[in-house]
Structure 1
């Protein structure tokens, strides 16, 4: 079959015209199809360098380039991703004998053109830097380059470069193709960068989980019945292994100068250092405690801790030190030149050192230093606790020997001990309830937030689901914030005695507004609220914010512990008791009764009645009410009256608040 020759068309003037519009239309169709193929790759391929290589091949083939180079643009060169494609005739060619430096490569580049003109200096710099990174290992010297930077989210995120190994004049059609695929490639670059970011965050979370697991393991060890040396051996082994050190040491000091109790700055004490625990990576089993020791005066490395006021000593490579600092032979500095020496400190006294060593230079991250510091704090506490327990045990033995001289005294002490044990059991039970309660209050919102975040990261979720998950996040965050605010408010009320910010308030309006806001919530449980307030305006001079919170907590408490399908009564009145002008508010509900014992601690923080242990709550509401009432110089009391022929009781909380000013009366119309 013969090939048809497409001749240029002739026009009425007899002159020939080149068919540029036809060519441009063909290139537009080619560029559109190319962009669709790239979009398909972006949608179906994993966001890796392999996806970029597939895109580079499509662009390189479509433009008939010798090579196509795709490079992501980030703030750090170490995180940039490069993908190259070369034509088949250049595949397998050996690399040039002389590798060009970046400066020489950029200087000797003969032709560098941009697909979109003009470009600013920053974008030209981005293109050159990307070429220097992505084209260092091409088989032949570059003779011509056509490049375009991509933008995503208003920022440059990558560069597409077409390369020729021979001199070449770039055509408008090739520039048009690059412009057409710029957006699709920008999306591909963005997906690769996002995948790298997620991967780095996952690595960070994995490392954080390892660190948290280490702290939890050390906490369990500190509470165990293991002997001190066994616990120290497990602690240094776990720490060194978690931080991937080659060797770990725990060194304890014995001061020979009894007067050296409070360290003096720039002064090194006389002390003997004993290595009590060691761990090495190159051994299959952990080594037992060793008895290596040295004098502190013979080790300049350890002396640095005292000379630098207890700060850790970090040496990336000991052989690079210029001050000729001496080190004890047991450190084996020549074999393990990278050293981290963290002091074991308690109340300003250095008990010893935790040492981590590496065979190669290492730059410790701040998170790792913080972890080692926490480990040192726990080890220091364990050492002090062990010494204290030994002293306490000795003291108890001496006391027991003396108590045996008198049976009567022994009996009395036994009774006191029994009472003490009962109190400890009760406190331990309260502690368990508190830990269970507060952990649930913290864990459940965090769990819901984590699940919402994971669901939001799922690809392709509809907008309405996104809105739902965002609402869950907002609600759970609000719960956590309210819990923390309640704790901070209690702490502030106990520590700071600031006078109330008094203002005139209309109790009738405040009570009606609060009751109205709870109507829908009460209806969900079949409850209703009945108000018994004076017809005339009931005025009170007090702190508005504190009063609203007190009444809100009392109504929430009544809602929580009321029997279904009952009525909550709220009664407000004015009275003068012993020449004291005050307002009395009673909140009454029907529910499980409160015993006399429970009434003694029901206003304590984290203490809840037995009837409310299976009801969600933090145990802070009534404690906050009591603190706020005391802040307003008022009083709060509770009564529980059994209902005849019923297992329920009528519970009444009585709130009494005084007027802060003698000039205004509670029935004054002025606000």
Structure 2
């Protein structure tokens, strides 16, 4: 839809200002022959109501001079001031105080109203004539003749108005009105009128005026097209130079508004609840979309204009499209533009749907709305507004459509770039995560490989130790068996070999039993056998055998038990095996004639602490974390050829874990000695059921 309105008219002071400024630079062009001007510019003082025309030759000369001046000024004057200068020539030609030229609106020409007045005293004529000029122009267009006194009296004009119509571009759409004020009180009382001869002169040069006006309109159109092309080049250049979208939008909105001389412009973006609803489809249910004011521009003359409700800045406003009849009309249609020339052309609000404050027709009487589209997707709108009714020209609509296409391209380019950047960021993040995962996997693999190497090394050591521990007793047993087969072997020697054979069998059996016990503990195949144990008698019974065994080495065993009888619920066999292995280990590595300390004490949290320490060979810091590994023996111990399989401490740790306890070891040097104090600390739950 398109409604057409008139372009807003300037105020009298504004017209006088810019017209008089432009005339000063062209005074040499606008001089009219003095004899012709003086013949029509003098007014008789007598109480006559007519003015005689000059003789026929002077009349013809006047018309020729006026025509020449009109063509000349139309050729060299600027498009902005040319019509006013034409009005000045006509005023000077007829000796009038002022002239008004009206160009009626058409599909390609906007309505224009140009003024010129001789001096500041005649400015009142602008206020007097302007409200009536529409009626005057209507009469002149209908019958281009001299205005009758009746019309002047009906319109309430005190001076004389002479109007004539002329054709431009095949249509009678130009009205020229020459204005003259009365020179005496008598003329003011009885009325002052132009003569028929003066009207004939104006009719005779009407064609020349039409040619001049047509040339001015053509220059204006060329000037506008130049402005339009410059604007399009600027917008295109900014897009090609990858300018940010807000700057491109502001440039497009400001440039379009200034090129079309509108008072306010917006760039509206649509944010859809469902992006799939952005496709333009006629006669559908309006999509749920939010209208966002992306950027705006307004003329300085609107600074004092009362802002529509709500009172916050327009750029911060947004509203639902379903709440505005104009937005619903635009969303439901597939038209390329929506133009409203006056208030009556706006869609009528309903009980449920009104008009958004930024489109209020009481404030802005004309509106042009151009969709922003990309592949049939509706992205938003460019809105141009004017306070006065205005007819939107086809070339103006085409310009805004081209600008809208450029802005749509910029929006699509920005969205595509943003999507690409998001995709790149996502892929980069995924790649980073993949690299981090690969690094973790590499580290895990490296550790697994190191662990496998360590396990292989330990397996080799295990097999080597196991082979040694198995072969050594077997070798002794084989030797003893061979010696026993000798027939002449004395009885005492026979008994000796039988003892060796028995000891080696016991050692072999013990080794195999330890391996089987470790296997069962590691696979958690050992069942608990709970029993209430009185701690002091159990420990005293266990350590009696070590007093006799350690006497040859001079070792002493000191026991520190709680004064109060302490009982706890545990697996007695496992507990006894732990103490047995620790005492055996302490006896092996303690210095001769030293003391082994065994301390048992209750701890907070229903726990029992068992500490066993001895003075003797130390354990290095590097070897300390590995002393509970199977077949792991310290280097000094191996070099000193201390007997052992390396399974004792591994079995102790497995048994402690089996009882839900913990074990720790330390080895610190003793001051003033080369020996170390090695201490094993065990924490066991007092009630194994609670410990579980």
TM-score normalized by structure 2? Answer: 0.34
From the CA coordinates, give the structure whose radius of gyration is larger: 2
**Higher relative contact order (CA closer than 8 Å, sequence separation 6+):** 2
